[in-house]
Amino acid sequence: MSKKAIGIDIGGTGIKGAVVNLKDGSLIGERVRHETPAGGKPAEIASVVAQLITQLPDAKPDMIVGICFPAIVRNGITMSAANVSKDWIGLDADALFTKELGRSVHVINDADAAGVAEIKFGAAKDLDGLVIMTTLGTGIGSALFMNGKLLPNAELGHLEIEGVDYESKASFAAKERENLNWTEWAKRLQTYYSTLERLFTPDLIIVGGGVSKQHEEFLPKIKLNTPIVPALKRNNAGILGAAALAKKASK
């Protein structure tokens, strides 16, 4: 069975994709990116994904496609929508993309995909125990793993702390919106990650999202008993994890 699949990462502003070598978690050929259509409606996004795949020179007609998406996803149905059209809520996304692309498609939550990439190829490879993956961006995404097994659709960014949905205070978007410096933001992250530690006693916490490229600015300021490390796969994590989960679902 081929050890290659196509991974697509759909976000509120951009859609990225590449062919993935599932043996080592590397990209085959160039990664292609398109802007997410304004309004983020299902048919328009599906059309962009179809166009993107035609631009991947190493994509083959028999390759399955994994798509990660900013929503709770249950059996291919998007149950929520973040930074895209509300038309996605309750939509059979698997069926939409399968029809548009004419090939087997598996849709999953974006933070779950990023976590799978870190479990298979990155910071948590071969690690047993409880691992929590977090992504700091517009909100706070999260993924839970026990002994390498995904517990899907964890929404730990929405923990209520100090009377609020705490991603509204601790996300990277909150840092930018309130013009917080690294130390001020790290204090909020300290509150958030200390709460995760108290509730779950994890063996490892991984911090992803685009800001993880600047982890030296804030991670050393967070003091926990649990090891907390930056994600290794960063901007490719969603692509890698989506491809890996699609291949697994096809077996």
CB 188 within 8 A of CB 181: no
The domains of the chain, with CATH numbers, are 4-112+236-249 (3.30.420.40), 127-231 (3.30.420.40)
CB 202 within 8 A of CB 227: no
Residue 222's CB is within 10 A of a number of other CB atoms, namely 17
Whole-structure pTM value: 0.90
pLDDT for residue 211: 92
pLDDT for residue 249: 86
Q: Which residues contact 214 (CB under 8 A, 6 or more apart)?
A: none
CB 190 within 8 A of CB 161: no
pLDDT for residue 235: 83
Mean pLDDT of residues grouped by 10 in the chain (251 residues)?
A: 88 92 94 94 97 94 94 94 90 96 94 95 94 93 96 93 96 96 98 98 95 96 98 92 92 73
Work out the widest C-alpha separation in the chain, in whole angstroms: 51
pLDDT for residue 213: 92
